[in-house]
Amino acid sequence: MTGIPRIMIAGTHSGCGKTTVSSGIMAALTARGQKVQPFKVGPDFIDPSHHTRICGRPSRNLDPFMMGEQGCIDTFIRATKGADIAVIEGVMGIYDGVDGTDFASTAHVARILNAPVILVVDIKGMSRSVLALIRGYLNFDTTISVAGVILNRVGSLRHRQMIESSISLPALGWIPKREDIAIESRHLGLKMAHETGLMTEFGSVIEEFCDLDALIAYASKVTRVTSQKKVSGSGSRKQVHASVGVALDDAFCFYYQDNLDRLRALGAELVFFSPLVDPLPDVDALYFGGGYPELHLPALESSRCTKEMKSAVVDGIPVYAECGGLLYLTREIMADRTYRLCDVFPALAEMTSQVQALGYVKGESMVNTSFLPPLQIITGHEFHYSRVLPDRDAQFAFRLSRGKGIDSGKDGLTSGNALGTFTHAYFTDAFAKNFIDAANHFSND
């Protein structure tokens, strides 16, 4: 149970400025000495990296599709221990959920957590029409509490005056256009936080042009959120049973914090390493997340880690890889030229100029590996500009009821005790436990 102050920063649509505004609010509150726990609605990896850098606390995803409603509540309660306030960044437009429904939308998560909503509205090119827009969002779903609005990209004082006198909600901010603070994008979205620190700079803009005291007051008018089960602290863990090497660098940087915490809680010591520059660590299992291996192919092709991977898999080490990690473990990848990679999975990979898959994934396992019994459920998300072309004798691990996967609803290539998927999976307790048990078994062989 928690009664921590909380606020949901929602948007009218993607691109209205909610990431910048959310990050600026986090930065402004942190500068005031507040311990801010950040969250992101949906399966995104990039926005949470900016939150984490600003707040000094790992940002968590809240996604009812992957986690279930109770999972969102449990993560929220666990992660907010020791914090003063929670700031949650929404996803897309406030009412945009799965398949045109409300499910897994920003509004859905706001209801789950009893969180007051601040609506970010991009008013460039509008004056009085903004009032109709706001009224429509306010009246569309009366089950959520929209406390106020932040008007973004205000052109001038006159622009503000044309709107301010008739606005129907408390205006908590009038943010001018700031072209000097903009994060560059690429094929998977904004640049990661370790590549730019610009989001932090927006804290001073929020302090100057927003009513932060009023926002804190609204965030404090909340009811308690209660879990159906006892929620342990995020730092709690069992005795260490195995070590897991986690690839973490500019090439592999997409991880759900809950996945890492779940591995730790079930007895894993996480050993972070860089496949770009490090040899394989002396560990009992390996975890390669997604990221941007395609931007670092010359370095990966020549790295010690790449040269050592196949032998490690032949020796039986359990390996889990997803998306960018899957690409890395194929035989070779075609980009500006062909690069030789780990040759673990019997497949070729190629980069493409258009997105190949985008959306939620659900399925079940159909083969038995050391850590994946049949009929185990997988939920997650896929988003990639690449294809994997398996050999004819390649074996798939998952049959998907939703999502594209590697080939027409089949996902998860296997080789020995290695498993690689296009799906960025949200770990179940069963999956994490099986992975750690396999690592422990390998360490005792």
Encode pLDDT of 383-423 as tens digits: 999 999 999 999 999 999 999 999 999 999 999 999 999 99
Question: Could you give the CA distance from residue 323 to residue 70 in angstroms, rounded to a whole number?
Answer: 27
Residue 183 has pLDDT above 60, yes or no: no
Q: Which amino acid is at 36?
A: V
Asked if residue 247 and residue 124 are part of one domain, the reply reads: no
Whether residue 136 sits in one domain with residue 89: yes
Judge whether 251 and 289 are in contact, CB under 8 Å: no
Residue 180 class from Cβ within 10 Å (0-12 exposed, 13-18 middle, 19+ buried)? exposed
Residue at which a domain ends, from 190, 220, 250: 220
Above 50 in pLDDT, residue 9?
yes
The number of distinct structural domains making up the chain is 2
Q: Which secondary structure element, helix H or strand E, spans residue 5, and what is its range?
A: none
Output the pLDDT for position 241. Answer: 81
Residue 232 falls within a domain, yes or no? no
Compute φ and ψ for 251, nearest 5 degrees.
Answer: -90, -30
Does residue 276 sit in the same domain as residue 163? no
pTM for the whole structure: 0.93
Please say whether the beta carbons of 361 and 410 come within 8 A.
no
* Angle value at C-alpha 188, between 206 and 244, nearest 5 degrees: 100
Q: How far apart are CA 363 and CA 358, in angstroms?
A: 16
Same domain, 359 and 261: yes
| Whether 215 and 252 share a structural domain | no
β-pair partners for 361:
380
d(CA 260, CA 85): 23
For 17-33, the pLDDT digits (tens) are 999 999 999 999 999 99
Higher-confidence position of 229 and 42: 42
Three-point CA angle 310, 340, 350, nearest 5° = 110
pLDDT higher than 90, residue 194: no
Q: Is the pLDDT of residue 233 over 70?
A: no
d(CA 41, CA 43): 7
pLDDT in tens, 88-126: 999 999 999 999 999 999 999 999 999 999 999 999 999
* Whole-number average pLDDT of the chain: 92
- Domain harbouring 248, CATH code: 3.40.50.880
The model's pLDDT over 125-177, given as tens digits with 9 standing for 90+, comes to 999 999 999 999 999 999 999 999 999 999 999 999 999 989 989 999 999 98
Say whether both 259 and 396 belong to one domain.
yes
pLDDT score recorded for residue 198: 61
Neighbours of 246 (CB within 10 A): 21
Q: Which residue has the higher pLDDT, 434 or 195?
A: 434
Q: Which of 185, 220, 255 marks a domain boundary?
A: 220
Say which CATH number the domain at 66 has. 3.40.50.300
Both tokens of 125, joined, read 């090119």
- The stretch 191-217 carries a mean pLDDT of 80
Q: Is residue 246 part of a domain?
A: yes
Residue 237 domain-assigned (yes or no):
no
In-domain check, residue 294: yes
Predicted pLDDT at 130: 96
Catalytic residues: 323
Position 1 in a domain: no
Q: Are strands 252-254 and 290-291 parallel, antiparallel or unpaired?
A: antiparallel
Burial (Cβ within 10 Å: 0-12, 13-18, ≥19) of residue 439:
buried
Select the more confidently predicted residue: 60 or 226.
60
Answer whether 114's CB lies under 8 Å from 225's CB: yes
Residue 226 within a domain: no
Residue-wise pLDDT for 302-339, tens only, equals: 999 999 999 999 999 999 999 999 999 999 999 999 99
SS3 state at 225 = strand
Whether residues 121 and 158 share a domain: the answer is yes
Give the residues across from 60 on adjacent strands: 39
> Domain containing 424: what range?
242-444
Could you tell me if 44 and 185 lie in one domain?
A: yes
Q: Predicted confidence band at 237 (pLDDT cuts at 50, 70, 90)? A: low
**pLDDT for the residue 195:** 45
Q: Looking at the domain assignment, is residue 80 inside a domain?
A: yes
Domain identity same for 216 and 316 = no
Query: What is the secondary structure of 377-426 as a DSSP string?
Result: EEEEEEEESEEEEE-TT--EEEEEEES-BTBTTEEEEEETTEEEESSEEP
The answer to whether position 129 is within a domain reads: yes
Q: Is the pLDDT of residue 56 over 50?
A: yes
- Model confidence at 231, in pLDDT bands (50, 70, 90)? low
Are 50 and 108 members of one domain? yes
Q: What is the DSSP letter of 375?
A: T
- The mean pLDDT value for 244-251 works out to 97
Q: Examine the domain organization and report whether 329 and 394 are in the same domain.
A: yes
Percent of the chain exceeding pLDDT 90 equals 86
pLDDT of residue 232: 61
User: What's the pLDDT score for residue 182?
Assistant: 55
* 400 Cβ contact list (under 8 Å, min separation 6): 361, 362, 363, 409, 410, 411
User: Is residue 370's pLDDT more than 90?
Assistant: no
Q: DSSP of 275-328, one letter per residue?
A: TTTPPPPS-SEEEE-EE-GGGSHHHHHH-HHHHHHHHHHHTT--EEEETHHHHH
Please tell me whether residue 127 adopts helix, strand or coil conformation. coil
Separation CA 369–CA 390 (nearest Å): 18
Same domain? 273 vs 175: no
